Structure 1
Amino acid sequence: MISGTLKGLALSAAIGLATLTSAAYAQDVAGKKIGIAAREITNDYNRDIIAGAEKALKAAGAEVVVTDGGADPRKHNENIESLINSGVAGIVVQLGDAQQLAPVVAKATAAGIPVVTTSIGSKTEGVLADVGGDDALMSAIVSRALLSSIDYKGDVYVFWVPGAPILETRKRILQAMVADYPQVKLHEVPTEHSAARVQAQMEDILTANPEPGSVAAVWGAYDLLVSGAVEAVRRNDRNEIKIASIDGDRVGFQMLLDEESPFVATVVQDVPRIGSLAAEVLLKGIAGEKEFASTLFTDAWLATHANGVASAEKRWGAGIWDEMFIPRADVEERWEQNGELIVVHPILP
């Protein structure tokens, strides 16, 4: 009871702080235009960062303009330049590469327009801060869960998109962990931001490895990407293969909580908070503040079959079952809910 009360108080305090932050800087942005430049808007992760930032900025009285680069880095940069040329008061950038963004950030800085990035994985020169999940920490958590599920033995196929900074970081942590387990063999499968492409690649892998046990596990850089591998595994009746990834999207929970699912874990991020925290930093920057930590992180937790109900409701609220068309009672009957939900957060000095 005491623990629950403290958690409630902490949540109320966090909500109150975000509201106070928006109100405190309302005079600085009231009626002004602020841009949110998304590299792409394809999944819950993208949409919820935008929603979190948009809500905080509108609460401060700003007019919000959202651009979509359609997963094209060049178009992404062009959109940011267009926002700069339109005279926005500030910009939140979602996804990208620090080197690729540096020239347009420099233009924004020269024009006196503060910029905050989200989910770049490092600070781009000239921005106030980069806000996101701690990708190294999240990868360590999900990689530990997946390796444990196969008792640190067997062939593991690794799906990621080369050149995507945070995905490269996630893969690099997996590689470092596997170095301690000589009975695990990683097979890198470079792919595209396409579940259909991953499904086709996984079909080829299963065809080449028809014997049960010849593929121990699949590691995916994020939920939507690896959903194609889950589909291929299920279609080929190879549910002995364990699969895990990162983000905690709705599709991740649908895979996790489905009957006889080979998907065993996902690291869930507090994605809306990435957006709202980025907005709070930007509002402070517009007001003239300059001192921020280079990188700021939000909460994360591991969702498994054993804590899936609590994990889903923490991320999405009690209405998630209607949204996913999955009865909560069915999940509780399917998977015993005896696992603890542990929230992690990097501690910064």
Structure 2
Amino acid sequence: MTFKLKSGAILGAFAALLMAGAASAAGKIAVITPYLAQPGTQFYVEAFQAEAKANGWEVNVIDTKGDVAAAISRIEDVSNQKVDAIVINVDPAQVAAGLETAKAANIPVFGMDAGVNPLLVTNVTSDGTAMAAETANFVIKRINAKGNVVMFVFDAFPPVQIRGAKADEIFKASPDIKILDRVTPDVADGGIADSRAKMEAILTANPDKGSIAAVWAAWDQPALGALQAIEAAGRQNEGIVITGIDANPQAREAVAKKTNFEATVAQDFKGIGKATADAVKSHLAGEKLAEVIYVPTKLITADNAND
């Protein structure tokens, strides 16, 4: 009798260990993004992969190279392959058909700097509204709330779209600030080259010193392209203030050197990748997650760019 009780206890403990192991080792995870050319995306995908490896997961990273429509078919493909979970870095509204396929297959989908959507378990991201407010207010202070501002935005991607919307709101509240142009660059190659070309055209159309007070960019690549255009035109001494968001290595270097690129915001890309992996693990273990999980950010200027 005693032996049977001990055996039952051992079997129960062994079953519990198996369940815990199943929760920690999800098996196959698909990560799907059209934006792997962006440094930020690369960083949090790499961080996710590192955490997944520690959890014993097999990760398949799928880059559709700027093709959002292709992301839908890839979500459908991996759903039919019965992966354990899907992580997306794309506007969920634009891939709804794929998400519906995942839902029908009972496969959980997680956003990694994607957007809020009822078809996602959660979205792990930075607070885009706060980042935009911080950089827009930095610009206003630096130009004494007066002058023409060029904005680089990307409304097709929710985390970036909300940055532009918040900056619009803040700039419009200053009566002496005028939005000279609101530019959406081609991001197929990362965004620097096309942003430079578009900024060159804006500089040509506004040749007078003081005609452009600042460039506000919703992420670093357009800010870097604008900096290249300003320097190539020999207008770096006009006091044109540039800000970005992401604090990628090139941006940090430009800020540290005290160029026109004066400020950016450091997202914790590794933190986003790790937090997304943690969210997958927690959900598969049966935990309830918030609709959005925010990872902290930090304003970067010449004072702390080398930290």
Cα distance change of structure 1 residues 25 and 70 upon mapping to structure 2, 3 Å threshold = farther
Equivalent position of 1:100 in the other structure: 94
What's the secondary structure of 1:308's corresponding residue?
Answer: coil
Q: Give the conservation status (yes or no) of the 8 Å contact 1:91–1:115.
A: yes
Equivalent position of 1:286 in the other structure: 284
Give, as a single letter, the amino acid of the residue that structure 2 aligns with 1:45: G
Equivalent position of 1:185 in the other structure: 178
After superposition, residues 272-311 of structure 1 pair within 5 angstroms as: 272-289=270-287, 291-310=288-307
Q: Pick the aligned partner of 2:203 from 202, 206, 211.
A: 206
TM-score (norm 1): 0.77
Q: Pick the aligned partner of 2:153 from 155, 160, 163.
A: 160
Equivalent position of 1:57 in the other structure: 52
What's the secondary structure of 2:31's corresponding residue?
Answer: strand
Equivalent position of 2:81 in the other structure: 86
Q: Report the alpha carbon displacement of residue 30 of structure 1 after superposing the two structures with TM.
A: 3.4
Q: Give the conservation status (yes or no) of the 8 Å contact 2:215–2:243.
A: yes
CA–CA distance in 2 between the matches of 1:288 and 1:42? 34
Q: Give the conservation status (yes or no) of the 8 Å contact 1:32–1:62.
A: yes
Give, as a single letter, the amino acid of the residue that structure 1 aligns with 2:250: V
Report how many residues are paired. 283
After superposition, residues 1-349 of structure 1 pair within 5 angstroms as: 26-28=21-23, 30=25, 32-94=27-89, 96-121=90-115, 123-187=116-180, 188-193=182-187, 194-239=191-236, 240-258=239-257, 260-289=258-287, 291-310=288-307
What's the secondary structure of 1:40's corresponding residue?
Answer: coil
Cα distance change of structure 1 residues 31 and 301 upon mapping to structure 2, 3 Å threshold = closer
Give, as a single letter, the amino acid of the residue that structure 2 aligns with 1:300: T
Cα distance change of structure 1 residues 68 and 267 upon mapping to structure 2, 3 Å threshold = same
Q: Give the conservation status (yes or no) of the 8 Å contact 1:25–1:284.
A: no
Cα distance change of structure 1 residues 60 and 26 upon mapping to structure 2, 3 Å threshold = farther
CA–CA distance in 1 between the matches of 2:20 and 2:206? 59
Give, as a single letter, the amino acid of the residue that structure 1 aligns with 2:147: G
TM-score (norm 2): 0.87
Q: Give the conservation status (yes or no) of the 8 Å contact 1:162–1:191.
A: no
Give, as a single letter, the amino acid of the residue that structure 1 aligns with 2:271: R
Q: Report the alpha carbon displacement of residue 102 of structure 1 after superposing the two structures with TM.
A: 2.3
Q: Report the alpha carbon displacement of residue 25 of structure 1 after superposing the two structures with TM.
A: 5.2
What's the secondary structure of 1:199's corresponding residue?
Answer: helix
Give, as a single letter, the amino acid of the residue that structure 2 aligns with 1:87: K
Q: Give the conservation status (yes or no) of the 8 Å contact 1:154–1:215.
A: yes
Cα distance change of structure 1 residues 142 and 264 upon mapping to structure 2, 3 Å threshold = same
Q: Structure 2: where are the runs of 5+ without partners?
A: 1-18
Q: Report the alpha carbon displacement of residue 110 of structure 1 after superposing the two structures with TM.
A: 1.8
Give, as a single letter, the amino acid of the residue that structure 1 aligns with 2:244: S
Larger gyration radius, structure 1 or structure 2: 2
Cα distance change of structure 1 residues 154 and 56 upon mapping to structure 2, 3 Å threshold = same
Give, as a single letter, the amino acid of the residue that structure 1 aligns with 2:268: D
Equivalent position of 2:12 in the other structure: none
CA–CA distance in 2 between the matches of 1:212 and 1:252? 25
Q: Report the alpha carbon displacement of residue 29 of structure 1 after superposing the two structures with TM.
A: 5.2
Q: Give the conservation status (yes or no) of the 8 Å contact 2:241–2:260.
A: yes
Q: Give the conservation status (yes or no) of the 8 Å contact 2:26–2:284.
A: no
